[in-house]
Amino acid sequence: MDILDIIAKKRDKGTLSRDEIHFFIKNYVDGSIKDYQASALLMAIYLNGMNNEEISILTDEMMHSGEVMNLDSIEGIKVDKHSTGGVGDKVSLILGPMIASAGAKLAKMSGRGLGHTGGTLDKLESIPGMRINLSKNEFIQQVKKIGISIIGQNSKLVPADKKIYALRDVTSTIGSIPLIASSVMSKKLASGSDAILLDVKYGSGAFMKDIDSAKELARTMVNIGKHLNKDVKAEVTPMDQPLGLAVGNNLEIKEVIATLKGNGPKDLFELCIDSGAIMLMQAKITKTKEEGVKILQENVKNGKAFDKFVEFVSAQGGDVSYILDPSKFEMAKNIVPIYSKKSGYINRIDAMTIGISSMRLGGGRETLDDVIDMSAGIVLNKKLGDEVRENELLCTIYTNRKENDYMPIIENVYNSFKIDENLIYKKEEHILIE
Ligand code: URA
């Protein structure tokens, strides 16, 4: 077999066989296929696409390019959740303890934030002492004992994705549905859970800007699950504004705590309950979504979900006193309110600008080596569709940066709100693909 024939076949819109895809992945990972040849094949895939079977084979081959976690020693159905990312997305940290309090087993590997998106691991690390690099055995034992663990991805998982993703980044081949779907799913499947719920975001703060491409990505990933015999469902949900009110690491953890106590923002709470109820069905704990919604709402009211979060933080070495008294979290030195210059309705909030602004206030990373300021970020006071009066609070920024550095960011944050005389905003669609 020759890589040149494989490139030519895809260039001419052919369908690649398992042997050809296997040959590419194996030889690219071991270095015998060069970056320039892999780039040509990725561009051919970008331009000519792949059918569902090719995408599933590509995912399977990528998944088996490294270690695959074996979670069989944990009794019952192991569930996992993945969001394609956005601004203020702290759902896993709320939904995880919620479903674990109802008997589900969540064994989750998460990532770090980059650019406008935050990462679950960074948020967790804003809790002093929290360990996110447990050994495989510690991870499994913790899920067995308390039903939940969230850690960083094992570096031995899916080496093919590390190489291919880095190459896509420098060859303008990121935005291809077969390549995104195989990248996300190979990592999720290698993490070893039996059932996966995906949350594919669309809108100004998401990777997918419109609902149609988000639906196509969701369908493609659900199909991979069908081909590879895994229970995969996908929600397609809006990221047309930050999720909840808080953006930034310890600010988001405070919102997680409030939400688990039943005092969180409505959009965030509803999404957690909705996704959690689907996962309880995937875990075969409940038969209907309504049953799951009821259990999860009840576990927030009776404190079981919050107690599970405390147990989870404690099991991973986190200082629980911060969870019990969130005022202990470090506060940024500069806390600056931003007021509306006019009265009207909020018809647009540019989530991408909010995410990038939070990063520039110190709350995120521009490059992977940047050090995050855990106390920096933005807390919204108004959301889409809200009425606002002149001089009323729109949001507050938190930063340790100097005034000269944060003043231009304030301007950007203010301009990310579009305030009109009339209300035009309509709630975006939220759908489930299974
Ligand atoms: N996230 C991934 O893990 N892979 C992609 O290709 C895009 C987003």
Q: Would you write out the chain's pLDDT as a tens digit for each of its 434 residues?
A: 999 999 999 999 999 999 999 999 999 999 999 999 999 999 999 999 999 999 999 999 999 999 999 999 999 999 999 999 889 999 999 999 999 999 999 999 998 887 888 899 999 999 999 999 999 999 999 999 999 999 998 889 999 999 999 999 899 998 899 999 999 999 999 999 999 999 999 998 898 999 999 999 999 999 999 999 999 999 999 999 999 999 999 999 999 999 999 999 999 999 999 999 999 999 999 999 999 999 999 999 999 999 999 999 999 999 999 999 999 999 999 999 999 999 999 999 999 999 999 999 999 998 878 899 999 999 999 999 999 999 999 999 999 999 999 999 999 999 999 999 999 999 888 999 99
Give CA–CA dist 229/250, Å, rounded. 38
Question: Which residue's alpha carbon is nearest to atom 5 within ligand 1?
Answer: 180
Q: How far apart are the first and last CA of the chain?
A: 37
Residue the block writes with tokens 């975001």: 201
Going from the Cα of 183 to the center of ligand 1, the distance in angstroms, rounded, reads 5
Ligand 1 closest atom vs CA 180: 6
Dihedral angle, C-alpha 85, 86, 91, 92, nearest 10 °: 30
Nearest CA among 211, 325, 337, 197 for reference residue 271: 197
Give CA–CA dist 284/103, Å, rounded. 10
pLDDT for the residue 278: 98
Residue 277's alpha-carbon distances to 40, 171, 386, 399, in angstroms, are: 43, 40, 28, 37
Estimate to the nearest angstrom the gap between the alpha carbon of 96 and the chain centroid.
13
Entry pTM: 0.96
Residue the block writes with tokens 């779907």: 181
pLDDT for the residue 207: 85
Going from the Cα of 402 to the center of ligand 1, the distance in angstroms, rounded, reads 34
Helices 304-315 and 91-100, packing angle to 10 deg:
110
Q: Is 243 exposed, middle or buried (0-12, 13-18, 19+ CB in 10 A)?
A: buried
Q: Is 157 exposed, middle or buried (0-12, 13-18, 19+ CB in 10 A)?
A: buried
Going from the Cα of 182 to the center of ligand 1, the distance in angstroms, rounded, reads 8
Going from the Cα of 194 to the center of ligand 1, the distance in angstroms, rounded, reads 21
pLDDT for the residue 252: 98
Nearest CA among 384, 312, 363 for reference residue 104: 312
Question: Which residue's alpha carbon is nearest to atom 7 within ligand 1?
Answer: 180
pLDDT for the residue 114: 78
Q: Tally the C-alpha atoms within 13 A of residue 106's C-alpha that lie toward its C-beta.
A: 29
Give CA–CA dist 115/138, Å, rounded. 31
Going from the Cα of 75 to the center of ligand 1, the distance in angstroms, rounded, reads 30
Is the C-beta atom of 277 inside 6 A of ligand 1?
no
**What tokens were used for 239?**
């990221």
pLDDT for the residue 7: 98
DSSP state of 237: E
Is the C-beta atom of 180 inside 6 A of ligand 1?
yes
Is the C-beta atom of 95 inside 6 A of ligand 1?
no
The phi, psi pair for 197, rounded to 5°, reads: -110, 125
Question: Which residue's alpha carbon is nearest to atom 8 within ligand 1?
Answer: 180
pLDDT for the residue 115: 81
Give CA–CA dist 357/410, Å, rounded. 8
Question: Which residue's alpha carbon is nearest to atom 6 within ligand 1?
Answer: 180
Question: Which residue's alpha carbon is nearest to atom 1 within ligand 1?
Answer: 184
Is the C-beta atom of 183 inside 6 A of ligand 1?
yes
The phi, psi pair for 252, rounded to 5°, reads: -70, -35
Is the C-beta atom of 184 inside 6 A of ligand 1?
yes
Name the residues annotated as catalytic: 82, 161, 168, 183, 187
Substitution site in 180, 185, 201 for ligand 1 pocket (most atoms within 8 Å of beta carbon): 180
Question: Which residue's alpha carbon is nearest to atom 2 within ligand 1?
Answer: 184
100-115 burial, b at 16+ Cβ within 10 Å, e below that, comes to bbbebbbbbbbebbbe
Is the C-beta atom of 196 inside 6 A of ligand 1?
no
Give residue 114's identity as a one-letter amino acid code: L
376 and 363 in contact (C-beta within 8 Å)? Answer: yes
Q: Which residues contact 225 (CB under 8 A, 6 or more apart)?
A: 185, 196, 231, 232
pLDDT for the residue 318: 98
Q: Is 251 helix (H, G, I), strand (E, B) or coil?
A: helix
Give residue 417's identity as a one-letter amino acid code: F
Is the C-beta atom of 221 inside 6 A of ligand 1?
no
